[in-house]
Structure 1
Amino acid sequence: MTSLPLFSLLTDVVVLQQHGPTDVPITGLTLDSREAAPGMAFCALRGTATDGHKYIATAVGQGTAAIICEELPAERNPQTAYVLVPNSAAALAHMAAAFYGHPSRQLKLIGVTGTNGKTTCATLLHRLLRELGYHTGLLSTVQNQIDEEVIPATHTTPDAIRLNALLARMVAAGCTHACMEVSSHAVAQHRVTGLHFTGGIFTNLTHDHLDYHGTFDNYLKAKKGFFDALPKTAFALTNADDKRGPVMLQNSAARRETYSLRGSATFRARLIGNEVHGLHLEIDGQEVQFRLIGVFNAYNLLAVYGAAVLLGEDSTEVLTILSGLTTAPGRFEPIVSKAQRVTGIVDYAHTPDALENVLQTIQEIRQPSQQLITVVGCGGNRDAAKRPVMANLAARLSNQVILTADNPRFEDPLDILAQMQGGVTPADAPKVQTVPDRREAIRRAVQLAGPDDIVLVAGKGHETYQEVKGVKSPFDDKAVLAEIFSELHK
């Protein structure tokens, strides 16, 4: 069991006051008072749902060795160390990095941030590096991986303790590289504070997570904060075609690099073809056929290519490997019913921009005779402003639309659907119907589809559950679609 003196974990922490023993041995860190035990350091975090300071007495009662807090309790146990800090979350991140031996310093760690494309970019870069022969870790929305070992993911970016623990496991397993998604929540909540990144990638910035950040400006600042913190030894690779791309680099000390499909940039690509069988691109003067579909994936591929070259890899070898890679699970993932020649597409698109990208991509590759039937919903207890926008997009860019439940969480799904219906214009209303039950909605879409038609099931992608009133029940869009194909298309 690892045991380090408290003072050794506070090297990078801003300490305002300290009471009690400083050399007390620490055997573990926790932000959950229920896990508090002798030898542990409990960090009292101020969260959105509760304030960890309320549980300091509980942690002390369970024998916790040290308390890290932003407000000292009136009564203090003389056997317990109390450390007053300006920000408990930042302190926890620095302590976690120190406790696990600063694993990020022993890896070439690449972070990917942006509204859309994080999972695809991180996954593609992970697969590419492994094909190049490196032992590589992955931290993503879909799953975490240490080489081939798969570890279920609960958050896009884990908390600082679990994050450093996973990075330490990667180092112990012999990994030299790691690719991770960096969410705006992770930056705002200091989960990635104290990590040493070799490089950062910015994909794009659109409307999302305003339920948490409050304003778009706060959301932008959270993303930008990741690049502001990059060291001068790192590279910062940004999408020059996104109007917020240059903003990300404004205060970054890192080496500034860009990628573009439309103008001058460090890494440039030209779209030659976008067909149902894949993309045809010219990248830095080399023509390559890729298996991924859609202009949004052209950006993802170019970002990954640029990052690999900035890591020192051979450009031709990188393009050769990328040409054979497929998309991340639940990202424009096709399922074909051969009996009726109906193509199903499952995609995680849960923001207006992502949905529009997917719908426009299908419009670009489909034949005039092919109908597009879209099944879409919006999650509960999240940004409500995007609901009518997403329904409007689906109705405008599809032949038929079925609005349904996504993860309603603690909201009434009928209320969510009513807000979505508010975005449907009178002209589009005849082709839109509402089926609250998601399985029945997918069934209805398949029933409406004729030979060669396309059924898009959007919103949940890789998720294997549906969350209702705090309960997660098994539900996998891909599996459900395959079952209904099998049942109806015998």
Structure 2
Amino acid sequence: MNILKDILYKVHLEAVQGATDIAVNKIEFDSRKVELNDVFVAIRGLLSDGHDFIEKAVNQGAIAIVCEEFPSKIVNGVTYVKVENSNEALAHLANNFYENPSLKLRLVGVTGTNGKTTIASLLYQMFKKAGYKVGLLSTVKIMVDETEYKATHTTPDSLTINYYLNEMIEVGCEFCFMEVSSHGIHQKRTEGLHFEGGIFTNLSHDHLDYHKTFAEYRDVKKSYFDNLPKTAFAITNVDDKNGSIMLQNTKAKKITYAIKSYADYKAQVLENQFTGLLLKINNNEVWTKLIGSFNAYNLLAIYATAVELGIEQNEALRLLSELESVSGRFQYFISSGKITAIVDYAHTPDALENVLNTINNIRTKNEELITVVGCGGDRDKTKRPIMAQIASELSTRAIFTSDNPRTEDPQVIIEEMEKGVEAQNFKKTLSILDRKQAIKTACQLAQPNDIILIAGKGHETYQEINGVRHDFDDLKIVKELLSQLNK
């Protein structure tokens, strides 16, 4: 039985009206889910304000309300708790309700613009191969050891995080690897969690629709490392100019990795082919199934984390060589007509440039490289012309199309992309509104040995248009289209 005063531990209370020695059923921040004797936490969101639904929550049986300002109507028998920040309060309530599950396993967070999903997912894969029970909280999916659940956010809300961490404890998980997004940090979703380690990948142009300035985006990421305990480790990519900034104020053990700079963990790319990478890590050679120099960084971060968590170096290298690529991250296949199709989640300028450079470094230049790319609606508009400029510059042909337009006009998004194309590259570009038609056109243009890159959506199996998610799987569609053309 959970008592309200117990789950309010560490919550910064400003005022309380009513009793706190009452038994509570569960915590909710969605008024539609409130049941008898629940605690309702009123959160101010981007689209709605939970304070507007306090009366509804009380009518549905809420026994306590946690809010940033008391409602005008106070109901007898209901406890009202005023806090400075409802998001932060929710995190502490969730930690206490589930009895601090993050203290009972070894939790490692991965943050940065690109590489979070790959690193978290491959660490999960690696530690499973090493014989451990492991949890994963990622953009692609949530894993409670062998059981898979659908993910809705890169970093779930704090209630969901603690629920799944508790589920992991129940089945005996020893480790959990989770993606930590800038939204998640800023909205206090990771507040109160005990991290054994944190990994920084890189920082580039993203989420400026939310954070407004790059400095704010960087500082939010940095705050994650600032709050790591001295018992934790902080692993950072010092080839990224923001890598050392992440460690400036951390109390955690500082560990560095790099390909170009001096670092604790250093790698050299010896071979880069479509079949994999040959790396030299701290003077030991290892062949891996992943492709591209950006994956050399990911693999190096994975290796460093594994060693810091106690896996012996040679065993870590052996496990590294067995890792398989993550869904929607440089997934490729070669059709019967000898056309290579690659699907990648690259949805930032930096990620797109990395993928295109990787392909260009591998191909012999006798083949065409046809890129299909769009930009998401209701997201950072400033990256649209940059994405188009990169695609048109680094491909032999670029097709601009819809991504997830959400509530925006997809034609306007494409027009904003087109502004980034330099005069000498105009002839190399096409704009096709319908994404399936754009992919079909790329397949029709491709000749044997050519390469098609479909960027932006990766693992996603839907396209979001005006609030409705339609079935759409880039990999499935390009496979079907290429097989039809080869008949």
Q: TM-score, normalised by structure 2?
A: 0.99
Q: What code does the residue aligned with 2:437 have?
A: E
Q: Is the 8 A contact 1:112 1:203 kept in 2?
A: yes
The alpha-carbon deviation at position 76 of structure 1 amounts to 1.2
Q: Which residue of 1 aligns with 2:380?
A: 383
Residue 296 of structure 2 corresponds to residue 295 of structure 1: no
Contact preservation (8 Å) 1:335, 1:478: no
Q: Report SS of the residue matched to 2:125.
A: helix
Shift in Å, 1:389: 0.4
Partner of 1:242: 240
- Residues 413-433 of structure 1: CA distance to partner in whole angstroms, max 9, x if unpaired? 000000011111111011100
Cα RMSD between the aligned structures?
0.8
Please give the per-residue CA displacement for 1:172-210, whole angstroms capped at 9, x wherever unaligned.
011110000000000000111111111000000000001
| Aligned amino acid, residue 386 of structure 2 | V
Amino acid at match of 2:279: L
Counterpart of 2:64 in structure 1 is 66
Matching of residue 373 in structure 1 with residue 370 in structure 2: yes
Q: 1:168 — aligned with what? A: 166
Matched, 1:121 2:116: no
**Aligned partner of 1:75: which letter?**
K
Q: 1:138 is matched with which residue?
A: 136
**Structure 2: how far apart are the matches of 1:205 and 1:263?**
17
Q: Give the match's secondary structure for 1:381.
A: coil
Q: In the alignment, residue 19 of structure 2 is paired with which amino acid?
A: P
Partner residue of 1:441 out of 438, 442, 456: 438
Structure 1: segments with no counterpart, 5+ residues: none
Measure, in 2, the Cα distance between the counterparts of 1:153 and 1:304: 22
CA distance in 2, matches of 1:63, 1:209: 38
Q: In structure 2, give the amino acid aligned to 1:454.
A: I
User: What residue identity is the alignment partner of 2:248?
Assistant: Q
Determine whether 1:416 maps to 2:377: no
Q: Distance in 2 between matches of 1:81 and 1:229?
A: 32
- Other-structure match for 2:222: 224
Structure-2 separation of matches of 1:383 and 1:234: 33
SS in 2 for 1:93: helix
The match for 1:327 among 303, 325, 328 is 325
Q: Shift in Å at residue 280 of structure 1?
A: 1.1
Secondary structure, aligned partner of 1:385 = helix
Q: Tell me the SS of whatever aligns to 1:217.
A: helix
SS for the counterpart of 1:253 is: coil
- Equivalence for 2:184: 186
Question: Could you tell me whether the CA contact under 8 Å between 1:375 and 1:441 is conserved in 2?
Answer: yes
Distance 1:251 1:368 in 2: 46
User: TM-score, normalization: structure 1?
Assistant: 0.98
Give 1:197's aligned amino acid. Answer: F
Which secondary structure does the structure 1 equivalent of 2:13 belong to?
Answer: coil
Post-superposition offset of 1:327: 1.3
Residue type of the alignment partner of 2:139:
T
Structure 1 residues 56-108: Cα deviation after superposition (integer angstroms, max 9, x where no partner): 11111222011111111233112011111111100100110110111111110
**Aligned partner of 2:155 among 154, 157, 160:** 157
Report what 2:312 is aligned to.
Answer: 314
Give the superposition deviation at 1:247. 0.8
- TM-aligned CA deviation for residue 387 of structure 1: 0.5
Summarize the alignment of residues 192-203 of structure 1 with structure 2, pairs less than 5 Å apart: 192-203=190-201
| Equivalent residue in structure 2 for 1:49, among 19, 33, 47 | 47
Shift of 1:49: 1.1
The more displaced of 54-63 and 94-103 is 54-63
1:35 deviates by 1.3
Please say if residues 336 and 342 of structure 1, whose CA atoms lie closer than 8 Å, have aligned partners that are also in contact.
yes
How big is the shift at 1:329? 0.4
CA shift, 1:14, in A, is 1.0
Q: For 1:355-403, what per-residue CA distance to the aligned partner results, in whole angstroms no more than 9, with x for missing partners?
A: 0000000000011211100000000000000001000000000001111
Distance 2:49 2:269 in 1: 50
1:29 aligns with 2:62: no
**1:18 aligned residue (16, 32, 37):** 16
Q: Superposed, which structure 2 residues align to 1:276-287 within 5 Å?
A: 276-287=274-285
2:440 and 2:143 map into 1 onto residues whose CA distance is 34
> Which residue is 2:396 aligned to?
399
Q: Which secondary structure state, in structure 2, belongs to the residue aligned with residue 180 of structure 1?
A: strand
Aligned residues: 487
* 1:147 Cα offset (Å): 1.6
Which 4+ residue blocks in structure 1 deviate beyond 2 angstroms?
none
